[in-house]
Chains A and B, each alone.
Chain A
Amino acid sequence: MAQPVTESEFTLDTAAELAAGERSAAEIRGRSPWYLAWRRLRRNYIAFAFLAVFLVIIAACALAPVYAHHVAHTNFDTNHILETVNVSGHPTPVVSAGGIIKGKLVASIPIGPTWWHAGGKFVLGADANGRDIAVRLLYGGRTSLIVGIGSSAICVFFAVILSLIAGYFGGWIDFIITRFYDLFYAFPVILLGIALGAALAINGFHHFGITIQSGSIWIPTLVISYVLIPYVGRPLRGQILSLRQKEFVEAAVAQGAGPLRIMFSELLPNIMSSVLVFFTLIIANNIVLEAALSFLGAGVQPPTPSWGTLIADGKDLIATRPWLALAPGLAIVLTVLSLNVFGDGLRDALDPRAKVRVEH
């Protein structure tokens, strides 16, 4: 059962409205906390602007196949090494010839950004395999967003379940779950992610009736969600421990409600605002973590592009073809910034006292 509106949700805004006679007291009491949060959020134009940026990024990545087939006329893994492309009417090799030419050492270098001077081909240039960077950037974005959002959903789901169990039952169950959290806290996230990612990259996962082939993006998704469970679960457990002592829980117990009903009908709705904020903020966190793991070879496996693997591909040509690494880097920055700004806005709206912080 959801809690009734309390005086604590009576804000300065509503006071001003009452004083101005714009609203009646009865009307104010009828508003749900979600409505109040929405009111606070919709006034945060910056948060909405960045939400729009994020949605544009999602839309662009979702339309990657359309761009690849109808604009760039290629695919994300098609090599064009020995081909030439007309840039402003001049035939230009996608990857230049190298070797000892006229007594001088010349390296093979891929084409740089054509900026629409090649009919939509190689807009951001090509990599050493002659693959279109703009196409790979969009496909890579799909991978990074799927891994980021998917891992956040799985992470938050398990963190909520474990925290509800730990916080409600307490005692030895809480002790075991808390030690599990402590165990993972003891390892730096990146190191743990590399260890798990590298181990699973060879043979995949074949245990407990679950089979995940190596190279599947489920591997980085699950690794990232797994290593971050304690970072979400621990603060949620603290909130549940506090809520467990509240009168409405005692009342539910007195009414004969069982543990499942109390956990999911009484406690869960009271932490949903925190869960939502966590979910939003941790997506950004996970996109960065995916990029880091993929850059180090323990995340998304080639030839599947992700922003992390694209940066890794581009680092060797940073001096002559900086866009190879800069483009995915900027995409990550823009995505993470938009999610963080929107997430902060959401937190300000849902959790004005800022109980939620993502730290590690």
Chain B
Amino acid sequence: MRSNRWKWVGLVALAAAVAVVAAGCGSSKKATSTSSAGGSKSGKTFPLFKIATDTGTDYLDPGLSYTVEGWGVMWNVYLPLIGYKHVNGPDGATIVPYLAQSLPTVSSDGKTYTLTLRSGLKYSDGSPVKASDFKATIERLFKVDSPGVGFFGNIVGATAFGKTKKGSLTGITADDATGKITIQLMAPQGDFENILATEFAAPLPASAPAKDTSSSPEPSTGPYMIQSYKPNKQIVEVRNPNFSSSALDNNVPTGNPDKVIWDVIGDDSVALQRVISGQDDWEGYHPIPPDRLSSVQSKYGADIKTFTPANTYYFFMNTTQPPFDKVQVRQAVNYAVDRAALVRVYGGLATTTENILPPTYPQYKKHDFYPYDLAKAKSLIKAAGATGASVTVWNHDRGLDPKASAYLVSVLNSIGLKAKEKVINSGVYWTTVGNQATKAQIGFADWFQDYPHPLDWIDVLLNGERITQTHNNNYADYNSKAVNAKIDALKKQPTLTSSVNSQWAALDATIMKDAPWVPFLNRQFTDFFNSSVDLSCYENHVLYEFDYATICKK
């Protein structure tokens, strides 16, 4: 998922996803039922929690939404069969059963996942949750051209169903009587549990129409249901009368607020003022404007929380387009970019990096191949014969990101290239640079995890086998046979053991020696609350960020 605030999709097309074909061994994984401490904090309920959210909520349909804001609303509304622990810190990446009785049982060849739906579950409208609803939900993704279809392209029959959108998705079988759900994959896939934990896989009634249901939301399975939605104005959530946390082993909290109202506010300063004045309780997804940070810190420092979601900001360099088809030129740019300068461009709330994977990952191992060295950069450009080469730096026009490309243009010009900038509307930026016809040479990109797994970074963004003509996420068009083979091998690993993690870390270093990117920072963000909010209950999830269900009021 791109940029934390407003990241439409450019998810890899189905065709690319199903191209991930590999035979391999897998190990059988014994299903376990896990009980977490994420349950309701009794006695902490309160009537209303109000949020000044930004404009990033794209849909309130779990089959269509693909923004942090959309998922942030819905992760307490539409529950997948398995999901993440509602806890702070790295433990939040642990997958636990939600609507399923236990984690999936995986066959020895790694290609068959079996789950059983808990009995007696009901949607918020009182209708029963059936195993066949899951199958219908995945089929619906293809029917609505969901941005999430690429995640499910490895299911047997997905290619054919994606083309015809008729009949049945043969790779999924569901038995409503027993609640048993079986998923057949074409090839083992180490991150498939994470994919089952996405909002895309959250069951909806089989009767859900194959169209956007944001304006008349489907009944929910989570602690809250959406009462009303006025796009770009307001979302109102109320308690789901049929939800029971104990029925889900307390893996999903009951929720403390009785009602949650999301006011859509476009401007960061206005949102800040609303929270200060008490009109809203949380400045949802809005950063505190840098020039207000000092005054807010001095007056309301206790009401600010900082967090670092898994993210990497980088410049891609297209390895098929001159002059970046030469590794010396790509390395020169890595040497020439002073990452500390870019941290200041982003207001100081960031840490420098030259890794692909974020530092919050256990696979992260910091490397330092490219210390700032302008002289070396100039000599590399000269050695590559690239002096005076014309370069267009691409970027979109939102937030602080255009300042990063303005800096890059200055850097490229200083090492002997002839750079100019092309800043286009953020609504079309990702599809434009993700289109091979654009031949974007170099440009800004960022990545926020869809799920906590290195495959969501290195496979999605740098696997040459997943390069597509349009909606390409591999903006660098990086295609190394050795790296592709290593990714494919690691993809078959069912669990992320320390040995596997080391291999991912080594792969990160291998790729960066080829320098298809200039990773430059991992951003930090702030959550700001009204002083009436009790932050002793504050939880920030590794994937969904602030958990409004567990918050308390003083």
Contact = CB atoms under 8 A, between A and B. Distances in A.
A201 B425 contact: yes
B424 A316 contact: no
11 contacts: A77-B410, A99-B349, A106-B293, A106-B294, A129-B406, A201-B423, A297-B397, A297-B423, A302-B406, A319-B289, A320-B291
A198 B432 CA distance: 14
B269 to A, nearest CB: 8
Given A77-B409, A104-B297, A319-B289, A99 B343 contact: yes
Contact of A128 (B304, B403, B411): B403
A347 interface: no
B425 A98 contact: no
Interface bracket on B: 35 or more
Interface in B340-369: 340-341, 343-350
B46 interface: no
Contacts of B410: 77-79, 129
Given A202-B432, A215-B421, A303-B406, A81 B293 contact: no
A108 interface: yes
Interface string A297-321: 1000111000000000000111111
Contacts of A97: 344, 348
A77 B420 CA distance: 11
Nearest to A79: B410
A106 B293 CA distance: 7
Contact of A82 (B340, B348, B349, B411): B340
Nearest to A95: B344
A214 B422 contact: yes
B299 interface: no
Interface in B376-432: 397, 400, 402-403, 406-407, 409-411, 413, 420-425, 428, 432
A201 B394 CA distance: 12
Given A79-B407, A106-B294, A321-B291, A98 B348 contact: yes
B61 interface: no
A107 B348 contact: yes
Given A99-B348, A129-B345, A105 B291 contact: no
A183 interface: no
Interface of A: 77-79, 81-82, 95-100, 104-109, 128-129, 198, 201-202, 214-215, 297, 301-303, 316-321
Interface of B: 289-295, 297, 301, 304, 306, 338, 340-341, 343-350, 397, 400, 402-403, 406-407, 409-411, 413, 420-425, 428, 432, 524, 526
A301 B425 CA distance: 11
A164 to B, nearest CB: 38
Nearest to A81: B341
B289 A77 contact: no
B406 A79 contact: yes
Q: Which of A79, A107, A319, A321 is packed against the most chain B CB atoms within 10 Å?
A: A107
Given A78-B410, A128-B400, A302-B421, A105 B293 contact: yes
Contacts of B406: 77, 79, 129, 302-303
A115 to B, nearest CB: 20
A316 B422 contact: no
A215 B420 contact: yes
Q: Which of A78, A79, A104 is packed against the most chain B CB atoms within 10 Å?
A: A79
Nearest to A101: B348
A219 to B, nearest CB: 12
A129 B421 CA distance: 15
A139 B405 CA distance: 20
A125 B403 CA distance: 17
Contacts of A77: 406, 409-410, 413
B409 A303 contact: yes
Contacts of A100: 306
A98 B402 CA distance: 19
A319 B424 CA distance: 27
A250 B103 CA distance: 95
A100 B294 CA distance: 11
Contacts of A297: 397, 423, 425
Q: Which of B292, B344, B409 is packed against the most chain A CB atoms within 10 Å?
A: B344
A314 to B, nearest CB: 10
